[in-house]
């Protein structure tokens, strides 16, 4: 008997995060004035959802 292997393809939220990562990485790299600012932009692109959530909670006084 063959076993059915179920693979988790990911959720739609991972696609949104991926598109956001690509867009923010392009933005930060285009506005970088040096190589190291571009490298910092890649790090910023990775954590942008956390920064966005922190700022939103601050504006909502939570």
CA distance 29 to 14: 22
For residue 53, the model assigns a pLDDT of: 86
Query: Can you give the C-alpha Rg of the chain in angstroms?
Result: 17
Range of the domain at 39: 35-62
User: Does the residue 16 lie in any domain?
Assistant: no
Q: Which of 3, 4, 17, 28 is nearest to 50 (CA)?
A: 17
User: Does the residue 2 lie in any domain?
Assistant: no
Calculate mean pLDDT across residues 5-17.
70
CA distance 27 to 34: 14
User: Does the residue 13 lie in any domain?
Assistant: no
Top pLDDT among 9 and 35 is at 35
Calculate mean pLDDT across residues 22-28.
91
Question: What is the total count of domains within the chain?
Answer: 1
- The two tokens of residue 23 are 């867009």
CA distance 39 to 28: 9
Calculate mean pLDDT across residues 9-16.
72
- pLDDT bracket for residue 51 (50, 70, 90): confident
User: Does the residue 49 lie in any domain?
Assistant: yes
């Amino acid at each position: 008997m063959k076993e059915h292997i179920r693979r988790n393809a990911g959720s739609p939220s991972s696609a949104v995060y991926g598109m956001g990562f690509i867009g923010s990485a392009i933005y930060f790299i285009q506005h970088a004035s040096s190589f190291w600012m571009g490298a910092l932009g890649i790090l910023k692109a990775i954590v942008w959802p956390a920064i966005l959530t922190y700022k939103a909670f601050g504006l909502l006084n939570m």
